[in-house]
Amino acid sequence: MNAAVVLPVPVSRPYIYEVPPELADRVIPGARVVVPLRRRNVVGIVTEVLSPQSSVGVEVKRILAAPDVEPALSQPLIDLGRWMSDYYGAPLGLSLRALLPGPLWSVARPAGPAPAADRLFVLVGNGMDSLLERERRFKRAPKRRVVYEAVEALGGSAPVKHLIEHLRLSRNSLTELVKQGLARIERVPEMRDPFAGLSSAPPPNLTADQQAVLSGITATPVETPVLLHGVTGSGKTLVYLHVLQAVVQTGRGAILLVPEIALTPQTVARVRGVFGDQVAVLHSGLSDGERADAWRALRRGERLVAVGPRSAVFAPVQRLGAIVVDEEHEPSYKQGTAPRYHARDAAAMRAQLEGARLILGSATPSLETLSDDRVVTFALPDRIGARPLPPVEVVDLRSAPRIPAAEAGAIAWSEALDSAISGALERGEQVILLLNRRGFATFVQCPSCGNVPGCPNCAIALTVHQTPPGMRCHYCGHEEPIPDTCIVCGHEIQRWRGLGTQQLEHFVGARYPRARIARMDLDTTTSKWAHHHILERVARGEVDILLGTQMIAKGLDFPNVTVVGVVDADTGLHFPDFRAGERTFQLVAQVAGRAGRGPRGGRVFVQTRAPDHHAIRAAAAHSVSQFAAAELPLRSPPNPPYPPRTGLVRFVIGTEDHARTAELAEKVSSWLRRAATERLDGMLTVLGPAPCPIMRLKGKWRWHVLVKSAEPRVLGRVVRAWRAKSHRAVTVDRDPVSLL
Ligand code: ADP
Ligand code: ZN
């Protein structure tokens, strides 16, 4: 007897293996098997057991092992994998690979390695409060200062290994700081999973509004997708929890998807508060062993609820009754490598395959969801406790009074924001400042010849960093020293342009010297529990000003935050991407929603040079409908249509050679044009080829071709036809979330 086995490699057709008699009862569709492939062994998934008659005529190799008693993948999950493969045009092997966590694909050690001991570098005492003191102490030791401030930004402690290997700080400076008595080294046997103990009791009663929405959802046929459109602070989480509870009470399971688990400890705590040990929290901080354990507990039905980011949509929850997609508008739900699935759409498909209910939730729903007429919307238009949404003041940076340049340097700091922050600090309230650009300065420019040093691998300017110092590429990680003189003309003074979070932190520290500041961006959150430590300090009231990139705009519920400032709302507004306005709207509306969640109320200041842009105006009004009314016509004829008014597929061509890339892009587009006229009856529009806005990335030249059709079927045929041709240098991205 033979079996068809799909291997986790970029091919769609299964491989045929012989089933040894002793494994016959385990080798069934969905089972993991170990099979030989050339000179190594790999894990594969059985998709079909072939009848004894269907001999292939050639000698086939034998399956070596079938490690699980129960098949790893249920039939609906295999079907979901097939759907992803067909819809996104991804090889079936890669689609199925995405369904199981990494450790389960490892032949050598399916349970993963044990966690090792960690040496922790801990700052001592309360730190140095004033900038002056700091300047005095580190006058002759700038490297030590860099270390000190980097660790400070990480929440006061960090693993030694992380500081040296990832941040490339000097080991010497660490030792010196310990000698100076400013820090000490602690040994911890293993970083404790901070999510393990997290639990908070839910509010005892639903409000009348929540109750009404809950009844509405329950009365909706299970196959109808539901959108819970609730303003920030309207209590959406409690509604989800009640829906999930009803599901679990009938012995069924559920999945709660969140954009990024590190940023949503509060949601995790609330889910634990209700479901306790029935929950498996799937987060990126888990070791391979923990991940495999969580997966098995769900697979065996020992845990009924899975909470996690995008990939949790594949959690092996038994008797699935509901999937909730919180913050459904978040771009992080889109997977960046094949299969390039969107977790919201995969969730919809899985819910359909398993007869489960789908609930999408957001304060700023995507235009895709808003324009989907199968979706039934339930609204929570008011905040809990009848708290008003915070008033938003749009500050026009072109004309608003600012604090003088002598004090603020290059930073545009309006008097309105400044006095609001001082007031909040005096009253012991907290402030959130959003600046969606990390680093110190956005780029370096020679004032004499205008040269801007760029990344040698990417068509992108290098960003200036100070902790630790260097110029870095945010796309490929390339690093080089900050130049003192221009490499082109030799001019001696180089100007730093554009504001990043590090500079903002520096400025805010000098401007409000008594404030305790925490910065949260990619640079301060690379270590395992960094997000969590920072947010914990904010929750305990040990931070007065939390500043950072879009990370701080999501889901946070801190009642003592009374002032939110958007330092520069325009950072993403002019990206060459049709969603630039939508992203800006969502970001500003979401961060505004962090203010005024407690009895003291709150205010929001949005600094911009485009105060009349509809994205800014709608965000200031907290109004999704206002935004949609202005944005949808821009994506509809007579303008060139864009999603959700049409379906979109992006073909990205990337090779090391520019001429070859352009040539290949030309070939892809003529293939598409031919298909459009010969076989698809003109139902396909082909745009391009053209260079991508980021024309060079990680050493590859990039061109793209966009394909549009109002008919999903047509796009499906195109991506599947391309899948059959499969070309290494071409990636296919259906429903792309970025066109950069
Ligand atoms: P959203 O996700 O809609 O922004 P949350 O779910 O975070 O809002 O809820 C906002 C706040 O209101 C939270 O602190 C939550 O504990 C509280 N809350 C939610 N529902 C209730 C309720 N029924 N009674 C009292 N407090 C509630
Ligand atoms: Zn680069």
- Tell me, in angstroms, the distance from the centre of ligand 2 to residue 360's CA: 36
Measured from the CA of 210, which atom of ligand 1 is nearest? Answer: 23
In this prediction, residue 112 carries a pLDDT of 46
d(CA 157, CA 91): 44
d(CA 470, CA 473): 10
In this prediction, residue 129 carries a pLDDT of 62
Residue type present at position 87: Y
Q: Is residue 509 in contact with ligand 1, taking CB distance under 6 Å? A: no
Asked if residue 189 has pLDDT above 70, the reply is no
Runs of H (alpha helix) within 593-732? 614-620, 624-631, 658-678, 712-725
Ligand nearest the Cα of residue 201 is 1
Q: Transcribe 571-607 into DSSP letters.
A: TTTTSSSTTHHHHHHHHHHHHHTTS--STT--EEEEE
In this prediction, residue 162 carries a pLDDT of 76
In this prediction, residue 56 carries a pLDDT of 62
Ligand nearest the Cα of residue 700 is 2
In this prediction, residue 106 carries a pLDDT of 84
> To 10 degrees, what angle do helices 75-88 and 343-354 make?
140
Q: Is residue 557 in contact with ligand 1, taking CB distance under 6 Å? A: yes
Asked if residue 568 has pLDDT above 50, the reply is yes
**pLDDT grade, residue 109 (50/70/90)?**
low
CB count, 10 Å around CB of 550?
A: 23
Q: Is residue 203 in contact with ligand 1, taking CB distance under 6 Å? A: yes
d(CA 117, CA 190): 5
For the stretch 491-513, pLDDT in tens is: 888 888 888 999 999 999 999 99
Residue 254 three-state SS: strand
Query: 3-state secondary structure string, 418-442?
Result: HHHHHHHHHCCCEEEEECCCCCCEE
């299964």: which residue's tokens? 14
Average pLDDT over residues 368-394: 95
For the stretch 254-281, pLDDT in tens is: 999 999 877 777 888 899 999 988 999 8
- Tell me, in angstroms, the distance from the centre of ligand 2 to residue 370's CA: 37
DSSP 8-state assignment for residue 114: P
Asked if residue 300 has pLDDT above 80, the reply is yes
Contact between 72 and 44 under an 8 Å Cβ cutoff? The reply is no
Q: Is residue 229 in contact with ligand 1, taking CB distance under 6 Å? A: no
Ligand nearest the Cα of residue 269 is 1
In this prediction, residue 89 carries a pLDDT of 94
Of 211, 556, 557, the one to substitute when testing ligand 1's pocket (max ligand atoms within 8 A of C-beta) is 557
**pLDDT grade, residue 13 (50/70/90)?**
confident
d(CA 137, CA 128): 9
Asked if residue 63 has pLDDT above 80, the reply is yes
Ligand nearest the Cα of residue 560 is 1
Measured by CA distance, the residue closest to atom 23 of ligand 1 is 206
In this prediction, residue 127 carries a pLDDT of 57
Measured by CA distance, the residue closest to atom 24 of ligand 1 is 203
Q: Is residue 483 in contact with ligand 1, taking CB distance under 6 Å? A: no
- Tell me, in angstroms, the distance from the centre of ligand 2 to residue 479's CA: 9
In this prediction, residue 126 carries a pLDDT of 59
Q: Ion ligand 2 — residues with CB under 5 Å?
A: 455, 457-458, 473, 475-476, 478
d(CA 542, CA 552): 16
**pLDDT grade, residue 128 (50/70/90)?**
low
Of 232, 237, 243, 378, the one to substitute when testing ligand 1's pocket (max ligand atoms within 8 A of C-beta) is 237
Residue type present at position 590: Q
Q: Is residue 207 in contact with ligand 1, taking CB distance under 6 Å? A: yes
d(CA 258, CA 220): 23
In this prediction, residue 115 carries a pLDDT of 45
Asked if residue 165 has pLDDT above 80, the reply is no
- Tell me, in angstroms, the distance from the centre of ligand 1 to residue 235's CA: 4
d(CA 169, CA 164): 5
- Tell me, in angstroms, the distance from the centre of ligand 1 to residue 555's CA: 11
- Which range has the worst mean pLDDT, 318-332, 494-508, 670-684? 670-684
For the stretch 681-698, pLDDT in tens is: 778 899 989 999 889 998
d(CA 594, CA 418): 18
Higher pLDDT, 32 or 124: 32
- Tell me, in angstroms, the distance from the centre of ligand 1 to residue 206's CA: 9
The pair of structure tokens assigned to 241 is 């929890």
In this prediction, residue 136 carries a pLDDT of 81
Asked if residue 461 has pLDDT above 90, the reply is no
Contact between 359 and 351 under an 8 Å Cβ cutoff? The reply is no
Ligand nearest the Cα of residue 461 is 2
- Cα 73 from chain centroid (whole Å): 26
CB count, 10 Å around CB of 377?
A: 15
Q: Is residue 230 in contact with ligand 1, taking CB distance under 6 Å? A: yes
Angle at 406 between CA 402 and CA 411, to 5 degrees: 55
Measured by CA distance, the residue closest to atom 14 of ligand 1 is 557
d(CA 175, CA 483): 28
For the stretch 383-429, pLDDT in tens is: 998 899 999 999 999 999 999 978 888 889 999 999 999 999 999 99
- Tell me, in angstroms, the distance from the centre of ligand 1 to residue 349's CA: 29
Residue type present at position 133: E
In this prediction, residue 111 carries a pLDDT of 46
Supply the mean pLDDT for the chain: 90
d(CA 489, CA 492): 9
Ligand nearest the Cα of residue 242 is 1
Asked if residue 80 has pLDDT above 50, the reply is yes
Q: Transcribe 198-251 into DSSP letters.
A: ---PPPSS--HHHHHHHHHHHHS-TTS-EEEEE-TTS-HHHHHHHHHHHHHHTT
In this prediction, residue 562 carries a pLDDT of 97
d(CA 135, CA 140): 9
First to last CA, the chain: 50
**pLDDT grade, residue 647 (50/70/90)?**
very high
Residues 6+ apart with CB under 8 A from 423: 563
Average pLDDT over residues 661-686: 89
- Tell me, in angstroms, the distance from the centre of ligand 2 to residue 534's CA: 29
Angle at 713 between CA 707 and CA 719, to 5 degrees: 50
The pair of structure tokens assigned to 12 is 């769609």
Measured from the CA of 205, which atom of ligand 1 is nearest? Answer: 23
Q: Is residue 598 in contact with ligand 1, taking CB distance under 6 Å? A: no
In this prediction, residue 556 carries a pLDDT of 86
**CB neighbour class for 221 (10 Å; exposed up to 12, middle 13-18, buried from 19):** exposed
**pLDDT grade, residue 317 (50/70/90)?**
very high
Q: Is residue 32 in contact with ligand 1, taking CB distance under 6 Å? A: no
CB count, 10 Å around CB of 28?
A: 15
In this prediction, residue 152 carries a pLDDT of 79
Residues 6+ apart with CB under 8 A from 600: 427, 429, 559, 560, 562
For the whole model, what pTM was predicted?
Answer: 0.87
In this prediction, residue 322 carries a pLDDT of 98
**Peptide bond just before 644 cis, omega within 30 deg:** yes
Measured from the CA of 236, which atom of ligand 1 is nearest? Answer: 3
Measured by CA distance, the residue closest to atom 6 of ligand 1 is 235
- Which range has the worst mean pLDDT, 315-329, 332-346, 525-539, 619-633? 525-539
Of 384, 556, 586, the one to substitute when testing ligand 1's pocket (max ligand atoms within 8 A of C-beta) is 384
In this prediction, residue 675 carries a pLDDT of 86
Measured by CA distance, the residue closest to atom 5 of ligand 1 is 235
Average pLDDT over residues 547-562: 91
d(CA 504, CA 519): 9
d(CA 597, CA 20): 63
DSSP 8-state assignment for residue 266: H
Contact between 280 and 307 under an 8 Å Cβ cutoff? The reply is yes
Asked if residue 167 has pLDDT above 80, the reply is no
Contact between 531 and 520 under an 8 Å Cβ cutoff? The reply is yes
Contact between 79 and 65 under an 8 Å Cβ cutoff? The reply is no
606 DSSP β-pair partners: 394, 566
Average pLDDT over residues 598-620: 96
In this prediction, residue 718 carries a pLDDT of 93
d(CA 73, CA 87): 20
Residues 6+ apart with CB under 8 A from 660: none
Contact between 333 and 308 under an 8 Å Cβ cutoff? The reply is no
Measured by CA distance, the residue closest to atom 26 of ligand 1 is 203
- The torsion angles phi and psi of 632, rounded to 5 degrees, stand at -60, -40
Asked if residue 191 has pLDDT above 80, the reply is no
Q: Is residue 14 in contact with ligand 1, taking CB distance under 6 Å? A: no
Q: Is residue 436 in contact with ligand 1, taking CB distance under 6 Å? A: no
Residues 6+ apart with CB under 8 A from 529: 191, 194, 285
Residue among 113, 117, 97 at smallest CA distance from 160: 117
d(CA 331, CA 364): 12
E strand or H helix that includes residue 406:
helix 405-408
Asked if residue 726 has pLDDT above 80, the reply is no
CB count, 10 Å around CB of 695?
A: 16
Measured from the CA of 207, which atom of ligand 1 is nearest? Answer: 23
Residues composing the chain: 740
d(CA 496, CA 468): 16
Higher pLDDT, 57 or 91: 91
- Tell me, in angstroms, the distance from the centre of ligand 2 to residue 109's CA: 35
Measured from the CA of 237, which atom of ligand 1 is nearest? Answer: 6
What is the share, in percent, of the chain residues with pLDDT greater than 90?
61
Q: Is residue 249 in contact with ligand 1, taking CB distance under 6 Å? A: no
- Tell me, in angstroms, the distance from the centre of ligand 2 to residue 453's CA: 11
d(CA 311, CA 331): 14
**pLDDT grade, residue 117 (50/70/90)?**
low
